[in-house]
Structure formats: structure tokens, C-alpha cells
Amino acid sequence: MLEHWYKEKRTLVDFRRDPLGPHFDGFAAYLKAKKYSHDFGRSVLGKCCQFNWFLIERGVTSANEIREPLINSFLEAYYAPPRTTGPKYSPQGDTRLSLKHLFAYLAEANLWRPPKPEAVTMPYTWLLNPYLRHLRIERELSKRTIAYQHRALNLFLGRWGARPRGSGSKSSKLKLSNA
């Protein structure tokens, strides 16, 4: 399917090198199925091929070995310092978008699994998690609404710092004075 985007045999050979090479034909078909323009598709494929060469230089042998630090290193090595031609154009952002298309395809084709972020335990997690569970199970709210609530409450509770305490602590019990 790469032949739709590129005609020169040397270019096709460059694309088909490991570690991502075996997947570029499927990725090209994915871009064509999404009806991307010829110019945009070539731009995305070109940046992803450049990333593939970066992986080869780093000794990466399969798509499963790709992690976020490699992507950041690639962007810093090939696109730093950021050169801009206008106030809204960012070469690093443009390349990151191209790689996002690639990783969406790899995840959809079960060729790459994004790493799961580690759960962060905050001082107020004991308070927030049961409430989010209530929203999900009993109120049956959408994932998007729950994610919005999670972000908003995280910001709100984060401003308190370490002050919120569980029900077992002495500071959480109200002390009423004689009025």
C-alpha cells in the first residue's frame, strides 16, 4: 500500500526496514482508508519513517520496545531547537501528531500496547475513589463526565495539600465547644 504514497523503489526499501518497516504497508492503508490527502499522508509517513530510522540507530528491534522517552529523545534530536515559520506552527508538535497517528494504528492493529500509567496515590485518594466509583456504578455517568469530575476534584483537593485525612485520624473528628 506504500506504493499509493511513494513510487521510488529506494524509498519503499527505506520504509520497510525493521522495527516498524513490516507495519508501514498497513499504516499506509490505514491512512488511505481515513481519506487523508496525498500531501498529508506523505508528510505523516515521512516523519514516521524518520522515527523508524531513529529507532534503528538506537537498537530498537520491535514496536513493543517503544516508550515515551524514545519519542521525546527523537523530537529533541531531530527538531531542536524548535524552528518556527509562523506564530502557530511547531515542527515538534507536527511530528508528535504524525507519531500519534502511527501509534493509534499500531494499537488498533494490536501491534503495540501503550504503557499503562502508574496510579498516583494522593493524600485524598481515599475520599476521591469511592465518589468516582459512585458516579460510575450508581449514577451511570459517561466516562467523559467522570474524567471531567476527576480532573476538577483533583485540582480542588490538590490545593488542600496533605490536610484531608481519613476517618480514623484525630484531626477529622469535629470538636464542638460549649456555646
| Residue 59 located in a structural domain | yes
Ramachandran quadrant class, 59 (left: phi over 0; alpha: psi -120 to 50; beta: rest): left
Average pLDDT over residues 157-174: 59
Q: For position 171, what pLDDT does the model report?
A: 47
- Structural domain of 143: 125-172
Q: 42-56, 133-147, 164-178: which has the minimum mean pLDDT?
A: 164-178
Q: Are residues 164 and 88 in the same domain?
A: no
Residue 179: inside a domain, yes or no?
Answer: no
More confident residue, 77 or 175: 77
- pLDDT digit string (tens) for 9-50? 888 888 888 899 899 999 999 999 999 999 999 999 999 999
In a domain, 102, yes or no: yes
What's the confidence (pLDDT) of residue 178? 47
Q: pTM for the full model?
A: 0.64
Q: How many domains does the chain have?
A: 2
165 found inside a domain: yes
- Which residue, 59, 75, 108, sits at the end of a domain? 108
* Candidate from 20-24, 27-31, 62-66, 134-138 with smallest mean pLDDT: 62-66
- Angle among Cα 26, 13, 71 to the nearest 5 degrees reads 65
